[in-house]
Structure 1
Amino acid sequence: MWTTPPIRAEQQGDSLTVFTAPSSDFWRVTHYGFIRDNGHFLPQEVQGDFVAEIEVRGAYRDQYDQAGLMLRISETVWLKCGVEYVEGRQHLSAVVTNEYSDWSVLPLDDAPVSFRLRVERRGQTVEVQAALSEDGQGFSAFQMLRLAWLPLPDAVQIGPMCASPDGQGFEVVFSGLRVNALE
């Protein structure tokens, strides 16, 4: 069940097509001074250490359109990562929130057709990796985007995330979500 339902969501096999709602976002305080917790997140609970992977294709067009994965404990402790559309181009993005949001971005020279995200949780540490596809077929090797510490309990939520803070909404397709326990 979505934390905040998108305008539209359709499941076909292992693909989930979503159209985001305007003015949707996840953010807490830092720099902008506001709190938003109305982005679209489809969580599943997972215990202990794990690795989650997903492929994402988005029709990003408006400032801050975003899609990827979210790891969440509460409205004040979470991590979101993926691609975010900033100043007319796609950026790999990671926001780590522990009462306050902390944002890091890596601008992409060329807009990939799709990308894969890998989020690995080991204890209190979360590693985010991304792989890009220029043609929608082959992917680059995974590269680390972020290594973060969060006060994580044994059980957390993980799943697809998307939002349109400033735009009118956009379509995103998630596919191949896998969540596997680590030993």
Structure 2
Amino acid sequence: MSDTSQFDAILAQAKLPERTVPLCLREDLVAEYERLDNELLGAPRTASSLGEVAPATVIARRMEELRKEMLAHQVQFLLRAWPARRFTVLRDAMPKKADDQSDDEFADVWHAAVCDLVSKMLVEPKATAEQVAELADRLAESQWLALSNAAWDINARGQAIPFSVAASAILGSAETK
């Protein structure tokens, strides 16, 4: 009989992939921030008198307030993949366009199926497919794609071991001190 303890150790390490998708639900704040960022480029950096604050400083302060407000309205959606065989069943059950189905009818059926997929991958916050559909109706396409693509990709694409240039630089400079 062969020794399978090494494989047992591998099995003990195996965890399903997880991914967090942060979404700011107040895109109006993002738009104001971007407008101010453009305004900042041409704003004077010096005040016109000693008792005043430079226009660039006023804009930068408002941008920081907006950034904090956006963070307060940011939701972290935690997704977890399903085991391969279970996801394959779900993937294979995704709707296919019937010959007698209009594009609009199929789009509605497909959207409902994607909402179901997202709800099944959501770990936190938990949501029903109907709640996910309601959320999708309140998101911009870019936000919806970030969430729905992550739910699909966490199952269908491999994930490389992440690397952060910023973290590496911080650690490199800390080690030289």
The normalised TM-score by structure 1 is 0.18
Q: Select the structure that is richer in strand.
A: 1
Q: Select the structure that is richer in helix.
A: 2
Q: Who wins on radius of gyration, i.e. which is larger?
A: 2
The normalised TM-score by structure 2 is 0.19
Higher RCO (C-alpha under 8 Å, 6+ residues apart): 1
